[in-house]
Amino acid sequence: MSGEKEVGFVRMGKISGVPKEIKEIGVGVLGYSFMGKAHTNAYIKMPIFFYPPPAKPRLVAICGRTESAVSEAAKRYGYEKYYTDWRSLVKDDDVELVDNALPNKMHAEPSIEAAEAGKHVLCEKPLAMNVEEAKRMYEAVKRAGVKHMVGFNYRFVPAIQLAKKLIDEGYLGEILHYRAVYLQEWIMDPSFPLVWRLRKSMAASGALGDLGAHIIDLARFLVGDVESVCGLTKTFIEERPLPEDPSRKGKVDVDDAFIALLKFKNGAIGSVEASRFCAGRKNYQRIEIHGTEGSIEFNLERLNELNVYSRRDAEDRMGFKNILVTETVHPFIDKWWPHGHIIGWEHTFVHEIYHLIDCIVNDKPIDPIGATFYDGVKCQEILECILKSAEEGRWVNIPL
């Protein structure tokens, strides 16, 4: 132990800096608000709980447009530097991993330039504004040979991983139905301003790309690829006060809610629905999957639990079983607390960041557990086809 010395009867040892046996990885985060905070928390927590870490994230730099806000965030979170120009962060030689937590409009260019600068890239969902951008991003990371992941963090819920294990093992038999909703209520007040998530120029779509992207990615992760869709979108409040001048209003040009039917390539059928107008639903992502041998049910607002039904159970005890997914046999749990000491939403980001950094340091494949930019492209195709279907009022096939 470096700097050890006798202090009376107590030996004192000084730990200076990161123990040399632990590698570091320089991280630069684009964006400092909601997702910037969730990701930073994960970078700080990961090496403590996944110890020894594959590498300890070094909070090199954070970036945001407003210097007063991003400098405050850098101080608060513990970043060494801050930038108001994303290009400077991407070019910073100390940054090995660029984490793009900016609005959807700003996913493509910074992620492509990061890849071209030889940086690994984590990009928040949805990957892009449209399929064309998503494909350019995917081509760029492939050309650069860097690791690439999309922030579909719900893949990293232990209960979702248990669901995937049961499905992949055939415990549910042949999958017949996928049924998912992702319901929130945060913009029901007409006085809620026209923030970037409600503007087509910044987000491309509303509940569809924001919440729908998650349950569409989980559809692919748990059931398989989608063959065709039939969608419906709705905007309940057509205009809202402008954040920059509440006395003026702007048009809401994205969906407040969507519903879509899915035909999967493996013959299963599905429905996905997301809305920001469901009073009482805070962050209510609920999934039911039914197979020939049984069913599972997951609710994000009770994310430590998975309800499982098996037709193989004896008739006198057949019924949904509630599994508390907090035993160390389940992924990631052994890194936290004893069983029953439940985890939360933020832990899914710690798991995601651990997986990414482990794959970077040990050159492991991000998928199938994590979503790569390829998965981001496939999700983008389904999003775009749902919009096309809603506009044209017909079923639309997903490009092969």
- Which residues sit at the interface with ligand SOE, rule CB under 6 A? 184, 210, 283
Q: Which one, 10 or 279, has the nearer CB to ligand SOE? A: 279
Helix, strand, or coil (residue 1): coil
Closer to ligand SOE by Cβ: residue 83 or 182: 182
Strand partners, 273: 181, 259
Residues in the chain: 400
Of the candidates 77, 49, 52, 35, which has an alpha carbon nearest to the alpha carbon of residue 341? 49
Q: Which two tokens stand for residue 165?
A: 């294990």
Shortest reach from residue 249's CB to ligand SOE, in Å? 22
On whether the CB atoms of residues 249 and 239 are closer than 8 A, the answer is: yes
Q: Which residue, judged by CB position, is nearest to ligand SOE in the bound state?
A: 210
C-beta of 40 vs 184, nearer to ligand SOE: 184
Residue number, 210 or 352, with CB nearest to ligand SOE: 210
Query: In the complex with ligand SOE, which residue's Cβ is closer, 283 or 307?
Result: 283
- Least Cβ distance, residue 184 to ligand SOE (angstroms): 6
Q: Alpha-carbon torsion 285, 126, 255, 261, what sign?
A: negative
3 state SS of 350: helix
Smallest gap from residue 396 Cβ to ligand SOE (A):
24
- Are 353 and 43 a contacting pair, CB within 8 Å? yes
Report the nearest approach of ligand SOE to the CB of residue 96 (Å).
25
**Positive or negative CA dihedral for 192, 287, 200, 370?**
positive
Nearest to ligand SOE of 152, 178 (CB atom): 152
- Give yes or no for a contact between 304 and 324, defined as CB atoms under 8 angstroms apart: yes
Amino acid at 361: V
Count of other CB atoms within 10 angstroms of residue 163:
24
Beta carbon nearer to ligand SOE, 39 or 45? 39
Least distance in Å: CB of 215 to ligand SOE? Answer: 11
DSSP state, residue 313: S
Q: How far is the CB of 230 from ligand SOE (least distance, A)?
A: 24
Q: ∠34-25-56 over CA atoms, to 5°?
A: 80
Q: Which residues contact 205 (CB under 8 A, 6 or more apart)?
A: 212, 233, 254, 255, 383, 387
Task: Give 156 or 332: the residue with its C-beta nearer to ligand SOE.
Answer: 156
Least CB distance to ligand SOE at residue 261 (A)? 23
CB of 220 to ligand SOE, least distance (A): 16
Closest CB to ligand SOE among residues 158, 294? 158
5 touches 38 (CB < 8 A): no
Among 53, 43, 50, 61, residue whose Cα is nearest residue 18: 53
| Cα R_g (the chain), whole angstroms | 22
Nearest distance from residue 30's CB to ligand SOE, in Å? Answer: 16
